[in-house]
Amino acid sequence: MEKNIITIVDCFVSNDSVLSKLKNSLYNLKNHGNKILLISNTLPPNEIINLTDYFIYNHENKLFKEKYENMNYVDLWKTFPEIAIHEITEEFQKHGLSVLCNLFNGLDLAASLGFTHFQRIEVDDLYTDESYDFMKKIPQLCENENKKCLFYKNYDDVSFHYYYSEIYFFINNFFRIKNENDYKNYLKLFGHNNSFKPVEVYMFDNLKKIKESEVVIRDGISDMTKDFKGTIWNTESSKSTLHEKYEGCTSKIYNIKNQNGICILTYNHNNHPVDRKIIVKLKDKTDQLHHSLQFINSWSYNIYYEEVEGIEVYDLETNKFLYTVDNLDIKDYIELK
């Protein structure tokens, strides 16, 4: 069968940083000869749409809303020349429902347009030219081994950063998710009851029931690093993962790796300036901090080497009280470089 391959890009354009990475990603994909299907729950500017071959706009950004049990924890880390910030948070992907629904909608359209195979990438992965060249080799790699698809697998999940498959093979072998009720049925069918599982585990579960003779499985760490040489993974974190109380800007307590102090750090996920007033409750007194974050992904911190009992966080402009954080069972930490 002659292959007709589409590259699927699913991107929620939440800020200028994501928009810039989306533009660069689409430009690079086109420059390397890819046909592109962009799917988004936001309406990007025309210059973005003009870089695609097909575009699906779904105004309904489906997010998980039900209560789930037995959350695992994940390290959402960011690194800068001066500091690495590690946030150990529950692995609850509110946007995962939209991602899965959009994927199947995109495959339906691609198949109707005559495409036979697809590859899916993430916009916030910064691929090198060597990585794009490797993508071009994957269809032949699968054909040489008489396989239908290629995935990168870890110990108990499958990477969502890149995968390749025959379209109808994926549609026929992966449990279709159209809404949250379908997702809950998937959990029951695969023996998870009401325990939340991220999209990477959803992929892992579905792959387990497919014959190994039909799939190229590569290691999600060693092979992926070698195959996508120089690629920088996961350069954006979604504001949709944050609790509403933060209003897009987190002021939290962090431990300091290999030190006894406590760090009070504020990180701005918004596309606009934010000013926070933080009341630090020490053992015998209180202290007041002002963290001014002028742009997205900006941060500010203070370190205390005395006992911190907790913090109260306010919006400085309105003096609105937002939330408190007690210094109890703190999992987040920073590394000073």
Q: What is the reported pLDDT for 238? A: 63
Sign of the Cα pseudo-torsion (237, 131, 154, 214, in order): positive
How far is Cα 173 from Cα 211, in angstroms, rounded to an integer? 10
Range of the domain at 38: 5-63+93-227
Looking at residues 173-191, what average pLDDT do you find?
97
Say what percent of the chain tops pLDDT 90.
Answer: 76
The verdict on residue 69 lying in a domain is: no
The verdict on residue 233 lying in a domain is: no
Give me the chain's average pLDDT, please. Answer: 93
Top-confidence range, 68-82, 105-119, 153-167, 292-306:
105-119
| Nearest CA among 325, 327, 288, 324 for reference residue 307 | 327
How far is Cα 169 from Cα 321, in angstroms, rounded to an integer? 52
Q: Which residue has the higher pLDDT, 17 or 185?
A: 185
Task: Give yes or no: residues 176 and 287 share one domain.
Answer: no
- Pairing type for strands 249-256 and 333-336 reads parallel
Task: Give yes or no: residues 37 and 180 share one domain.
Answer: yes
Is pLDDT at 56 greater than 70 in this prediction?
yes
Contacts of 32 (CB under 8 A, 6+ apart): 132, 133, 135, 136
Is pLDDT at 200 greater than 80 in this prediction?
yes
Helix, strand, coil % in the chain, rounded to nearest 5: 30, 35, 40
Pick from 173, 195, 227: which residue ends a domain? Answer: 227
Is pLDDT at 17 greater than 90 in this prediction?
no
Q: What is the CATH number of the domain that holds 52?
A: 3.90.550
The verdict on residue 311 lying in a domain is: yes
Taking only the tens place, the pLDDT of each residue in 109-132 is 999 999 999 999 999 889 999 999
How far is Cα 63 from Cα 240, in angstroms, rounded to an integer? 9
DSSP annotation of 51 reads: T
Task: Give yes or no: residues 132 and 20 share one domain.
Answer: yes
How far is Cα 337 from Cα 84, in angstroms, rounded to an integer? 8
Total of domains in the chain: 2
The half-sphere exposure of 238 on its side-chain side, counting CA atoms within 13 A, is 15
109-113 CB contacts, 8 Å cutoff, 24+ apart: 109/37, 109/54, 109/56, 110/6, 110/8, 110/37, 110/54, 110/167, 111/167, 111/168, 111/171, 113/6, 113/54
Q: What is the reported pLDDT for 241? A: 66
120: its two tokens:
């899916």
Taking only the tens place, the pLDDT of each residue in 233-284 is 877 766 666 778 999 899 999 999 999 999 999 999 888 999 999 999 998 8
Task: Give yes or no: residues 197 and 140 share one domain.
Answer: yes
Q: Following DSSP, what letter does each residue of 124-187 receive, concatenated?
A: TSB--HHHHHHHHHHHHHHHHTT-SEEEEE-SS-B-SSEEEEEHHHHHHHS---SSHHHHHHHH
Contact 264, 301 (CB under 8 A): yes
Q: What is the reported pLDDT for 73? A: 79
Task: Give yes or no: residues 210 and 267 share one domain.
Answer: no
Sign of the Cα pseudo-torsion (4, 10, 16, 21, in order): negative
Looking at residues 19-45, what average pLDDT do you find?
96
The verdict on residue 85 lying in a domain is: no
Task: Give yes or no: residues 106 and 207 share one domain.
Answer: yes
Task: Give yes or no: residues 50 and 175 share one domain.
Answer: yes
Contacts of 38 (CB under 8 A, 6+ apart): 9, 10, 11, 26, 44, 48, 49, 52, 54, 55, 56
Taking only the tens place, the pLDDT of each residue in 132-166 is 999 999 999 999 999 999 999 988 899 999 999 99
Is pLDDT at 42 greater than 70 in this prediction?
yes
The verdict on residue 172 lying in a domain is: yes
Q: What is the reported pLDDT for 270? A: 87
Is pLDDT at 1 greater than 80 in this prediction?
no
> Whole-angstrom distance between the N-terminal and C-terminal Cα of the chain?
54
How does residue 212 score in pLDDT terms, banded at 50, 70 and 90?
A: confident
Task: Give yes or no: residues 44 and 175 share one domain.
Answer: yes
The verdict on residue 272 lying in a domain is: yes
Task: Give yes or no: residues 248 and 195 share one domain.
Answer: no
- Reduced to 3 states (helix: H, G, I; strand: E, B; else coil), residue 206 is helix
Q: Tell me the whole-structure pTM to 2 decimals.
A: 0.77
Q: Which residue has the higher pLDDT, 61 or 172?
A: 172
Task: Give yes or no: residues 114 and 32 share one domain.
Answer: yes
The verdict on residue 81 lying in a domain is: no
Pick from 184, 204, 227: which residue ends a domain? Answer: 227
Pick from 227, 258, 290: which residue ends a domain? Answer: 227
In the numeric block, the tokens 């928009």 are attached to 19
How does residue 95 score in pLDDT terms, banded at 50, 70 and 90?
A: confident
The verdict on residue 72 lying in a domain is: no
Q: What is the CATH number of the domain that holds 249?
A: 2.60.40
Task: Give yes or no: residues 278 and 304 share one domain.
Answer: yes
Task: Give yes or no: residues 300 and 202 share one domain.
Answer: no
